[in-house]
């Protein structure tokens, strides 16, 4: 008999599987070119050739015992962590060293390592709606719970006045994500300054540190010259989580890192605990070959122009068809207001037009739907008449 705690996950998973199967069935029935699947955040730009070349070079040039072996430290190879630290220093004027970096199995494991480091059972984590659906599961993994700070749907910047009201004795961490999945919004410097003030004041009042976990797998995906602020510049008790899943299109390779700045309260203990958390959670160390490849490709980037073209065409096409949405500044998602109140019902109607989108209620923000525009440009262009027909059907209802 499986654990009771797993039953809701199993049921939820069947719903996701049903959606995938339905998408695959529709592709078989109507032809893949006639199904407009905006449901998945899987990069549509292949990983840069430099990554493949780096892997070949590593296999030819480096000691196989090193390349495929356990790492001496659960935090990863020292030279790889130094390469990451120096890269961040060049970008942000910081002075990190290997000791500030922990290599992780993608952003997902990084979040779990960070939460394991700071959470005791019964603690609470706050996240701003809409947020990446897994955050709540990750908090539960460590006996904690996640509470959603309701969205500010005017701007989709974090709702800071509500945050202040919701912080309490149990609050140990706040998770933010910018550029944001699902809205594409980049949190402004002003927002981060205010957020930092609130967290500093509340930490003082409560007598314990509230850590800020900044989940940044989309950091490089920002458009129109928008600057993504470096969060530890605003709040010293920030842990940054990063991954190359989106920025180098390597989601299956499971590679990322955490930054523990030296300014963190209880830094030595925290970084030591995180190193151990990487081990006891069973990750042991981040995958070795791809750690080394990431270090060699530290200055590489994806062709963001592909996503930018999709973003503009889909955004303008949707406005033209009568939809409302905030223009995304980053990531590869559009968060569109559902033209009817029930976002799940809207998704079901959209499916009749061969359009697959995800309800906002999956991101703790009902009344909206998420479209992942990391798809082919043809999919975007060919979907637009169907979005129009969908809107016409809704308006005639």
> Is residue 251 involved in binding ligand PLP (CB under 6 A)?
yes
Least distance between ligand PLP and beta carbon 114 (Å): 12
Interface mask (CB under 6 A) for ligand PLP, residues 215-234, using x and -? x-x-----------------
Interface mask (CB under 6 A) for ligand PLP, residues 122-161, using x and -? ----------x-----------------------------
Where in 56-205 does DSSP place strands (E)? 101-104, 124-128, 145-149, 171-177
Least distance between ligand PLP and beta carbon 263 (Å): 24
Closer to ligand PLP by CB, 106 or 232: give it: 106
Closer to ligand PLP by CB, 249 or 275: give it: 249
CB within 8 Å of 38: residues ≥ 6 apart:
355, 356, 357, 358, 370, 371, 372, 373, 375, 383
Beta-carbon-side half-sphere exposure of residue 116 (alpha carbons within 13 Å): 20
The one among 39, 74, 100, 177 contacting ligand PLP by CB under 6 A? 177
Beta bridge partners of 356: 37
* Binding span for ligand PLP by CB under 6 A among 101-109, 168-176, 191-199, 315-323: 101-109
- Sign of the CA dihedral 351, 355, 356, 357? negative
The closest of 367, 326, 321 to 346, measured between CA atoms, is 367
Number of residues in contact with ligand PLP under rule CB under 6 A: 13
Least distance between ligand PLP and beta carbon 335 (Å): 13
Burial of 341 (0-12, 13-18, 19+ CB in 10 A): exposed
> Is residue 362 involved in binding ligand PLP (CB under 6 A)?
no
* Binding span for ligand PLP by CB under 6 A among 103-111, 199-207, 295-303, 349-357: 103-111
The SS3 of residue 149 is strand
Closer to ligand PLP by CB, 98 or 127: give it: 127
> Is residue 302 involved in binding ligand PLP (CB under 6 A)?
no
> Is residue 278 involved in binding ligand PLP (CB under 6 A)?
no
Q: DSSP labels for 93-113?
A: -----GGGEEEESHHHHHHHH
The closest of 393, 394, 275 to 340, measured between CA atoms, is 394
The closest of 13, 44, 45, 23 to 355, measured between CA atoms, is 23
Question: Are 283 and 75 contacting, i.e. CB atoms less than 8 angstroms apart?
Answer: no
Closer to ligand PLP by CB, 318 or 331: give it: 331
Which stretches of the chain bind ligand PLP, using CB under 6 A?
A: 41, 106-108, 132, 177, 181, 215, 217, 243, 245, 251, 256
């Amino acid at each position: 008999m499986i654990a009771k705690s797993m039953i809701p996950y199993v049921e939820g998973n069947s719903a996701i599987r049903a959606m995938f199967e339905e998408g695959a069935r529709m592709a078989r029935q109507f032809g893949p070119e006639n199904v407009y699947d905006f449901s998945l955040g899987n990069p549509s730009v292949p990983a840069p050739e430099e990554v493949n070349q780096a892997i070949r070079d590593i296999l030819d040039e480096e000691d196989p015992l090193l390349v495929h072996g356990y790492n001496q430290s659960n935090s990863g190879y020292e030279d790889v962590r130094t390469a990451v630290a120096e890269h961040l220093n060049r970008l942000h004027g910081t002075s990190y060293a290997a000791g500030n970096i922990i290599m992780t199995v993608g952003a997902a494991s990084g979040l779990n390592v960070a939460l394991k480091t700071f959470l005791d059972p019964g603690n609470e984590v706050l996240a701003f709606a809409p947020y990446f659906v897994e955050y709540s599961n990750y908090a539960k993994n460590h006996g904690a719970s996640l509470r959603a700070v309701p969205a500010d749907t005017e701007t989709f910047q974090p709702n800071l006045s509500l945050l202040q009201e919701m912080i309490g004795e149990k609050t140990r961490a706040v998770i933010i994500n910018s550029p944001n999945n699902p809205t594409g919004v980049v949190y402004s410097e002003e927002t981060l300054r205010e957020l930092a003030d609130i967290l500093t004041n509340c930490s003082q009042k409560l007598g314990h540190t509230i850590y800020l976990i900044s989940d940044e797998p989309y950091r490089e995906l920002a458009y129109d010259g928008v600057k993504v602020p470096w969060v530890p510049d605003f709040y010293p008790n920030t842990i940054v989580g990063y991954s190359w899943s989106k920025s180098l299109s390597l989601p299956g390779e499971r590679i990322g890192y955490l930054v523990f700045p030296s300014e963190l309260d209880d830094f030595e203990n925290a970084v030591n605990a995180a190193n151990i958390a990487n081990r006891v959670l069973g990750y042991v160390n981040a995958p070795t070959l791809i750690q080394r490849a990431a270090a060699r490709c530290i200055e590489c980037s994806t062709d963001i122009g592909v996503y930018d073209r999709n973003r503009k065409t889909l955004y303008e096409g949707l406005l033209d068809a009568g939809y409302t949405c905030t223009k995304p500044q980053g990531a590869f998602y559009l968060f569109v207001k559902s033209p009817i109140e029930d976002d799940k019902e809207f998704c079901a109607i959209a499916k009749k037009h061969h359009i697959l989108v995800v309800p906002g209620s999956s991101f703790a923000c009902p009344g909206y739907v998420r479209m992942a525009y990391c798809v082919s440009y043809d999919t975007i262009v060919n979907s637009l008449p169907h979005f129009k027909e969908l809107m016409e059907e809704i308006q005639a209802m």
